[in-house]
């Protein structure tokens, strides 16, 4: 007998960091659509300062959609091709500031700019000059006024309360919507009063997704909760908690705390293992350690909290290094397909990490479809291994230790042999056989014998 039908799990997304539009389009068709991703977050599409560093993308000089990642026509084509592949596009919207360059220059579309002057768009009167710190830079994150009216690393801070500024920002976002994007990551949302963001968002069509970047910081007055009235927020607490047991082998069951402390409500939370900032900063588990990274992503996608976004960038040794580019500074196309195995060694310097092609990721997206909204039940810990069930629909098991471990978990899944989607992928069960490992449920118990630093997941529809 089948358990009662449940609602769908929130559709998972993927951040394709600094990947040019033509490559994102191909990735939607070849990998993201087939794997089961619902949306892709791109790097900022705005015209920006020239330079080889990735972060030039975060220094707009106009709202033209012409960047090192591609032209307006290429962006529009990408959005259409991704949508046709079942993948919505979320654009990274840099609207808190313009470039921080003190010297005049020319942007990636040829626009001339000076600090605080962007012809036809913004002039000096459109910017904050906070006067609270020596150089007008934010120095103290415990001061709301500094954080929202001073400059984030010298970036010219727009007066987002001004109707003229709001009008230009809305025009930019509407332009992107006219090309078919489903919504926006709001970069540096913490640095704009929530009321200002709310006023901008209020003008946009209903259903536009708004994902605010508000990094939760201990003791800071500006909290992600302020930004949930008009959209979702990236919940940085989640990643911090997620990877702790992978490094310590000590498991704390998040289901024992409801609501989770220092987490926004599940339906407002965008959750992740890492992003382009944290992989260069606070993240303790990244693609540089692929085995633990796989475990972290299996836990992320297997959870019932929040809307997950997987991260896909490139390996780097220099924090500032941009993705490989041609002589004119345009990012080079890159492709991930075909990959047949989950990675166990990191990509070479400058190479894409391509996690979206790992069988485990498609397998976990299939897991999410099979378990829907089934709640996560309290887990079972065995040494460095840990397993939890999504109520009678699926089980996730991980072993963070180096030695093999067996974890046994009571389950409501029917007896039988199940194909593991972490090693077997989305099509783990094919023609009645398992592409990867198999695990048995017998007498209301599932037994997972796991090698060191491996994970497994089974679900109702992966039963042989």
Q: Which residues participate in catalysis according to the annotation?
A: 187, 213
Q: Which is nearer to Ca ion, 191 or 453 (CB)?
A: 191
Site string for Ca ion, 149-188 (x = CB under 5 A): --------x-------------------------------
Walk across the sheet containing 445-450 and list its strands: 405-410, 445-450, 438-442, 416-419
As a whole number of angstroms, the distance between CA 7 and CA 322 comes to 41
Q: Supply the angle between the helices 194-202 and 163-178 in degrees, to the nearest 10.
A: 50
Q: Which is nearer to ligand ARE, 18 or 22 (CB)?
A: 18
Per-state percent for the chain, helix, strand, coil, to nearest 5? 30, 25, 50
Q: Which is nearer to Ca ion, 66 or 157 (CB)?
A: 157
- Per CB under 6 A, residues contacting ligand ARE are 55, 58-59, 94, 100-101, 141, 152-155, 187-188, 190, 213, 215, 217, 220, 276-277
Q: Which does 187 bind (CB under 5 to 8 A by kind): ligand ARE, Ca ion, none?
A: ligand ARE
Asked if 136 is part of the footprint of Ca ion (rule: CB under 5 A), the reply reads no
As a whole number of angstroms, the distance between CA 404 and CA 444 comes to 23
Beta bridge partners of 376: 390
Q: Which does 157 bind (CB under 5 to 8 A by kind): Ca ion, ligand ARE, none?
A: Ca ion
Q: Which residue has the tokens 């998040």?
A: 254
Report yes or no: 49 and 322 within 8 Å, Cβ to Cβ: no
Shortest CB 188 distance to ligand ARE, Å: 4
Shortest CB 192 distance to ligand ARE, Å: 10
How many CB atoms neighbour CB 277 within 10 A? 13
Site string for Ca ion, 90-119 (x = CB under 5 A): ------x-----------------------
Shortest CB 111 distance to Ca ion, Å: 22
Q: Which is nearer to ligand ARE, 38 or 96 (CB)?
A: 96
Buried b vs exposed e over 420-436: b needs ≥16 C-beta within 10 Å?
Answer: bbbbbbbbbbeeeebbb
Beta bridge partners of 113: 105
Radius of gyration (C-alpha) of the chain in whole angstroms: 23
Q: Which is nearer to Ca ion, 138 or 239 (CB)?
A: 138
Q: Which does 260 bind (CB under 5 to 8 A by kind): ligand ARE, Ca ion, none?
A: none
Shortest CB 313 distance to ligand ARE, Å: 12
Q: Which residue's Cβ lies closest to Ca ion?
A: 191
Q: Which does 217 bind (CB under 5 to 8 A by kind): ligand ARE, Ca ion, none?
A: ligand ARE
Instruction: Rule CB under 5 A: choose which of 190, 191, 260, 263 binds Ca ion.
Output: 191
The tokens describing 147, both together, are 């954080």
Q: Which does 59 bind (CB under 5 to 8 A by kind): ligand ARE, Ca ion, none?
A: ligand ARE
Q: Which is nearer to Ca ion, 96 or 312 (CB)?
A: 96
Q: Which does 31 bind (CB under 5 to 8 A by kind): Ca ion, ligand ARE, none?
A: none
Give the Å distances, CA to CA, from 122 to 126, 167, 372, 379.
6, 11, 47, 54
- The dihedral of CA 43, 329, 26, 346: what is its sign? negative
The burial class, CB within 10 Å (0-12 / 13-18 / 19+), for 58 is buried
Query: How many degrees, rounded to 5, is the angle at CA 358 between CA 352 and CA 28?
Result: 70
Interaction site with Ca ion (CB under 5 A)? 96, 157, 191
């Amino acid at each position: 007998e089948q358990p009662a039908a449940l609602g769908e799990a929130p559709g998972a997304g993927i951040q394709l960091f600094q990947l040019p539009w033509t490559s994102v389009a191909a990735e939607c068709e070849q990998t993201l659509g087939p794997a089961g991703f619902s949306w892709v977050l791109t790097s900022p599409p705005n015209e920006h300062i020239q330079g080889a560093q990735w972060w030039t993308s975060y220094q707009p000089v106009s709202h033209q959609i012409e960047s090192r990642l591609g032209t307006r026509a290429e962006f529009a084509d990408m959005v259409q091709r991704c949508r046709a592949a079942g993948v919505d596009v979320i654009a990274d919207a840099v609207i808190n500031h313009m470039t921080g360059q003190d010297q005049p220059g020319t942007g990636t579309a040829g626009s001339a700019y000076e600090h605080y002057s962007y012809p036809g768009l913004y002039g000096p009167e459109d910017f904050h000059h906070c006067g609270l710190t020596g150089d007008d830079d934010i120095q103290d994150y415990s001061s709301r006024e500094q954080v929202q009216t001073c400059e984030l690393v010298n970036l010219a801070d727009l007066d987002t309360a001004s109707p003229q500024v709001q009008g230009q920002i809305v025009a930019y976002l509407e332009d992107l919507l006219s090309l078919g994007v489903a919504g926006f990551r709001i970069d540096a949302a913490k640095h704009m009063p929530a009321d200002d963001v709310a006023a901008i968002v209020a003008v946009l069509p209903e259903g536009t997704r708004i994902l605010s970047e508000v990094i939760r910081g201990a003791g800071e007055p500006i909290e992600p909760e302020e930004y949930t009235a008009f959209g979702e927020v990236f919940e940085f607490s989640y990643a911090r908690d997620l990877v702790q047991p992978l490094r310590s082998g000590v498991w704390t069951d998040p289901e024992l705390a409801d609501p989770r402390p220092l987490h926004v409500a599940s339906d407002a939370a965008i959750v992740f293992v890492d992003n382009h900032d944290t992989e260069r900063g606070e993240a303790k588990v990244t693609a540089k350690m692929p085995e633990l990274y796989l475990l972290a992503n299996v836990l992320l996608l297997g959870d019932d909290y929040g809307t997950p976004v997987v991260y896909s960038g490139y390996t780097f040794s220099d924090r500032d290094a941009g993705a490989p580019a041609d002589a004119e500074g345009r990012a080079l196309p890159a492709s991930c397909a075909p990959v047949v195995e989950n990675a166990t060694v990191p990509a070479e310097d400058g190479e894409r990490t391509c996690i979206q092609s790992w069988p485990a990721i498609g397998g976990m997206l299939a897991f999410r479809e099979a378990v829907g909204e089934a709640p996560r039940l309290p887990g079972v810990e065995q040494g460095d291994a840990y397993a939890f069930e999504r109520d009678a629909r699926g089980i996730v098991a991980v072993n963070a230790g180096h030695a093999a471990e067996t974890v046994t978990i009571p389950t409501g899944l029917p007896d039988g042999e199940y194909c593991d989607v972490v090693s077997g992928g989305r099509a783990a069960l094919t023609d009645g056989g398992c592409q990867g490992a198999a695990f048995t449920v017998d007498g209301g118990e599932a037994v997972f014998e796991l090698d060191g630093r491996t994970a497994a997941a089974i679900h109702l529809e992966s039963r042989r």
